[in-house]
Amino acid sequence: MAAEVTVTYRKRRNVELAMVLLAQILGAGGYVLTHLFRDARLPGEWPYVVGAWVLIGLVAHLVVRFTMPYADPVMLPIVLLLNGLGLAMIHRLDLATVPPGSDAVTQFVWTCVAVVGFAATILAIRDPERLHRFPYILFLVGVVLLLLPLVPGLGRTNYGATIWISIAGYSFQPAEIAKIVLAIAFASYLADRRTVLAQAGHRFLGVELPRARDLGPVLLMWGASLIVLVAESDLGTSLLFFGLFVMMLYVATEKIAWPILGGLLFVGGALLAYQLFGHVRVRVSSWLDPFSDFQQNYQIIQGQFGMAWGGLFGRGWGLGSPSLTPLAKSDFIATAIGEELGTVGLMAVIVLYALLVTRGLRTALTVTEPFLKLLSAGLAFVVALQVFAIIGGVTRLLPLTGLTTPFMSQGGSSLLANWVVLALMLMVSHIARKPRPEPVAGPVEVSLAADATQAIPVQRLPRSPITPDDPAAAAPTVPLGAGAKTEIVAGSGRSSDAVDPDAPTSYIAVPDAPTSQIVSPDAPTTYIPGIGAPGPDVSATGIPDTQRPHTAATPESAPEPGQDAPPSPLPDPDATRQVPRIGGDQ
């Protein structure tokens, strides 16, 4: 049998610090190169900008170092690099307008707010296992946030999608917070119900289908996703939440039937929406044939032209024309990266997202608690599905969606929500990598040197045999309790065998007897239940041989060889039960 292998992780905080500084240098490098390529000089405020950016990264690193020393060392540097590249690209797009915009400054402020939210989440929660207690409340809150833009007077429609709410002049996407709340709710629900949901039903084409009674949660989320798709005109959010639930359901149950069923339900709902709603047909048309309507599909056409012009290695920071693409700072920031950094740069960004998702899934494999395992996998799926939907949309792999590119796109609500996602993933990774106390192998040695020694007096009994003629020489008797061990007089094994008077005898303990009495051989005979092998005969009273009391036979009344001993009469229940003490060693 192979020995169990225990993996011990090191803290790796210095490694994380080195990678954080490298990520910030690359992010600040985009800002510096943009000015050098465009203006051939650096702006006067560049030291303050770079210093503030480095300070943000160091604050995030110190929070992790002192609160979660065993957290994954790769996640934070990846996020800082993506955030830095997004800030640099937004600033580059600001310089393309006359007069220059200030969206990069606003995004930088939102980055500071997001890092504060990141630290507050870590300090407030500490142990994400506490979130396991509120599955239904969190689910209700998540659904309300998801459908909040449909409230009249509160929701706001931009570019055909109703996914914003406006409060006091500030717009906000509640779906960004809803994805975190629902991921926690799904993890809590599935951790409690995974055994029930894993029960197999009928088999179809070699696939074990789930039971009909377990389809309720899937149908509920399918209906919610269709409401989002139809009422809010948001294909991306619909795909994100339904796909998140189905993938977490697969992780919880390990049944391939769930993702197959979920995929069929989503495709069926999308086909139904295509037939009934015009905005869905517009999205599909811009995906399959964007040049069929140049004005309507101008955004995606310009994005395709920009990436084609960037080629393999791109035009360089500040040397392309990504501002010709509408919404290049938010929805189409990936095409701006592809134009100025080329296909190689865009693939590098995708690899960074893949590494972040991989670290989250690795944490899910490492942690042992079911809720934390599902939570880490769910948050990783949130990032993966969001990146897949938006980059797939701008590259025409999928119909265009309204999702943002995590950590890079302009938008405060998206940035804040994604930093909270990072905080939760780091907390789970800290629990997964933290060393556990080793179990004690073998008995625990306790020193008794400080204990006092107590002497217990023991009465020594004489070992000389006791004869019937000398009762005065008998040793004092000791009362025997119910737990005393009874020794049977040696015999042939049958309950009716005679006892040789000359054979050495032993004391026979009588349970709960207060005293033992020494009697002479002439005393009345006492009936003692036999414990020998059961006899084949049953008396007329119907009592088997093993349950009938017998008398000890004398030599004169012993049966002849080959003859069975006659059955003994039943004892008088009122007779005195006394045991002859004949003597001998015990």
**Domain ranges in the chain?**
7-126+295-369+405-435, 129-276, 470-555+577-586
Q: What is the mean pLDDT of the chain?
A: 78
Q: What is the pLDDT of residue 295?
A: 87
- Region 559-574: mean pLDDT is 52
Omega before residue 99 within 30° of 0, cis: yes
Q: What are the two backbone dihedrals, phi and then psi, of residue 210, each rounded to the nearest 5 degrees?
A: -70, 160
Residue 303's pLDDT band (cuts 50, 70, 90)? very high
**Which range is most confident: 54-58, 217-221, 324-328, 564-568?**
54-58
**Better-predicted residue by pLDDT, 208 or 391:** 391
Report which of 260, 157, 184, 190 is spatially closest to residue 423, judged by C-alpha positions: 184
**Better-predicted residue by pLDDT, 329 or 501:** 329
- Region 228-241: mean pLDDT is 77
**Better-predicted residue by pLDDT, 384 or 562:** 384
Output the DSSP codes for 185-214. HHHHHHHHHHHHHT-EEEEETTEEEEPGGG
Residues in the chain: 586
Residue 582's pLDDT band (cuts 50, 70, 90)? very low
Residue 496's pLDDT band (cuts 50, 70, 90)? very low
Question: How far is Cα 113 from Cα 436, in angstroms, rounded to an integer?
Answer: 35
Lowest mean pLDDT among 21-35, 424-438, 505-519: 505-519
- pLDDT-above-90 percentage for the chain: 39
Residue 501's pLDDT band (cuts 50, 70, 90)? low
Read off the pLDDT of residues 435-463 as tens digits, 9 standing for 90 and up. Answer: 876 655 555 565 666 666 666 666 665 55
Q: What is the pLDDT of residue 584?
A: 44
Read off the pLDDT of residues 57-74 as tens digits, 9 standing for 90 and up. Answer: 999 999 999 999 999 999
Question: Does residue 490 register a pLDDT over 90?
Answer: no
Question: Does residue 539 register a pLDDT over 90?
Answer: no
Residue 347's pLDDT band (cuts 50, 70, 90)? very high
182, burial (CB in 10 Å: exposed 0-12, middle 13-18, buried 19+): buried
Report which of 526, 520, 511 is spatially closest to residue 474, judged by C-alpha positions: 520
Q: What is the pLDDT of residue 448?
A: 63
Lowest mean pLDDT among 129-138, 397-406, 541-550: 541-550
Count CB-CB contacts under 10 A for residue 151.
Answer: 10
Question: Does residue 296 register a pLDDT over 70?
Answer: yes
- pLDDT-above-70 percentage for the chain: 69
Read off the pLDDT of residues 85-125 as tens digits, 9 standing for 90 and up. Answer: 999 999 999 999 888 889 999 999 999 999 999 999 999 99
DSSP-derived pairing of the beta strands 155-158 and 161-167 = antiparallel
Structure tokens at 142: 């998540």
Cα dihedral 166, 167, 169, 170 sign: negative
Q: What is the pLDDT of residue 148?
A: 87
Read off the pLDDT of residues 166-197 as tens digits, 9 standing for 90 and up. Answer: 887 778 888 899 999 999 988 998 888 777 77
Question: Does residue 465 register a pLDDT over 70?
Answer: no
Question: Does residue 389 register a pLDDT over 70?
Answer: yes
Structure tokens at 454: 């107590």
Q: What is the pLDDT of residue 489?
A: 44
Q: What is the pLDDT of residue 414?
A: 92
E strand residue ranges, 168-272:
170-172, 200-204, 207-210
Residue 285's pLDDT band (cuts 50, 70, 90)? confident
**E strand or H helix at 165:** strand 161-167
Q: What is the pLDDT of residue 246?
A: 86
Q: What is the pLDDT of residue 523?
A: 57
- Please list the alpha-helical segments (H only) found in 95-163: 103-125, 135-147
Q: What is the pLDDT of residue 493?
A: 43
Q: Which long-range contacts link 484-489 to residues 24+ away (Cβ below 8 Å)?
A: 484/509, 484/511, 485/509, 487/586, 488/531
CA angle 541, 545, 547 (to 5 degrees): 80
Question: Does residue 263 register a pLDDT over 90?
Answer: no
Question: How far is Cα 355 from Cα 108, in angstroms, rounded to an integer?
Answer: 24
